[in-house]
Amino acid sequence: MLLKDRISIVTGGSSGIGRGIALEFAREGANVVIADRRESPLQGKYHEKDTSTPTVQEIEKLGAQGTFIQSDVSDESQVTELVQQTVDHFGGVDIFVNNAGIHIPGGSQDISIAEWDKVVGVNLRGVFLTTKLTIPHLKKSKYGRIIQIASVHAYRGGAGPAYASAKAAVINMAKDTALEVGKFGITVNAISPGYIETAIQDYLTLEQIESSLEKTPMQRLGLPKDIGRAAVFFASDDAEWITGTSLLVDGGASAKT
């Protein structure tokens, strides 16, 4: 097991990619705190249609310890409470995965200023809050890790101004934070997923999904587990000298652009 007894927090861990990461962490022996606004998983119209059990139940089936802590990552007091409750319950934090994210489709003339604030509030401000409030605890760990879930949209347009900018910023925040905390043995890396089959894709048409598949050299769309395995790598001892980087996990789709 690569993460035996490590204490991890996965934001947005009730659904989709976060759930995939949480289950791979559990398979590798980690204790996992699921930090999400809701406990029941999101069910999409294309993907995750039959997913219904809370992630913690699935973690326990794998023989690991899981705990759900209701929290909104864009709220400072809730993030403070999340970190404190984790430390009280498990005795510390080793791995923090910034996965919670939202997407509101539309260009600059479609989305409102309030919607911009909402997307940036969760996808960027939320990452700053969790990073700021977790580092004091990660410093005490022998295996401190921060993993940001960015996106292929960090590198190109097409996903709307708020989402794309926040994701690009998160990759740069990983570099900046890596410089700050390397001396404490903490690594900070980003994973940039391509199309992953989750409920976040509900806004797309079937034709758009088909087009994403056609652009994927590996001949299938991504699954939450694909990102989960990449996160296990960054969290493990195998990646102890890798920091400040971003890994594309997209079935090769970006290789052509």
Ligand X SMILES: NC(=O)c1ccc[n+]([C@@H]2O[C@H](COP(=O)([O-])OP(=O)(O)OC[C@H]3O[C@@H](n4cnc5c(N)ncnc54)[C@H](O)[C@@H]3O)[C@@H](O)[C@H]2O)c1
Which residues belong to the active site? 163
Shortest Cβ distance from residue 185 to ligand X (Å)? 26
Q: Report the residue number, 38 or 220, with the smaller CB distance to ligand X.
A: 38
Interaction of residue 151 with ligand X, rule CB under 6 A: yes
Q: Report the residue number, 28 or 48, with the smaller CB distance to ligand X.
A: 48
Shortest Cβ distance from residue 4 to ligand X (Å)? 26
Q: Report the residue number, 185 or 225, with the smaller CB distance to ligand X.
A: 225
Exactly one of 99, 130, 165, 216 binds ligand X (CB under 6 A); that residue is: 99
The contact mask relative to ligand X for 109-128 (x = CB under 6 A, - = no) is -------------x------
Interaction of residue 38 with ligand X, rule CB under 6 A: yes
Interaction of residue 16 with ligand X, rule CB under 6 A: yes
Exactly one of 9, 79, 100, 249 binds ligand X (CB under 6 A); that residue is: 100
Exactly one of 2, 62, 104, 199 binds ligand X (CB under 6 A); that residue is: 199
Distance CA(56)–CA(232), nearest Å, equals 18
Residues 6+ apart with CB under 8 A from 113: none
Per the DSSP assignment, residues forming a β-bridge with 196 are 222
Residue 99 tokens, joined: 């996965």
**What angle separates helix 126-138 from helix 76-90, to the nearest 10 degrees?**
30
Exactly one of 6, 12, 230, 234 binds ligand X (CB under 6 A); that residue is: 12
Shortest Cβ distance from residue 190 to ligand X (Å)? 10
Distance CA(66)–CA(63), nearest Å, equals 9
Interaction of residue 104 with ligand X, rule CB under 6 A: no
Q: Is 124 exposed, middle or buried (0-12, 13-18, 19+ CB in 10 A)?
A: buried
- 219-248 residues in contact with ligand X (CB under 6 A) are none
| Cα–Cα distance list, 24 to 86, 140, 153, 162, 234 (Å) | 19, 24, 25, 30, 12
Strand (E) or helix (H) holding 192: strand 187-193
* Cβ-contact 13, 99 below 8 angstroms: yes
Interaction of residue 134 with ligand X, rule CB under 6 A: no
Total number of residues shown for the chain: 257
Ranked by CB distance to ligand X, the top (closest) residue is 101
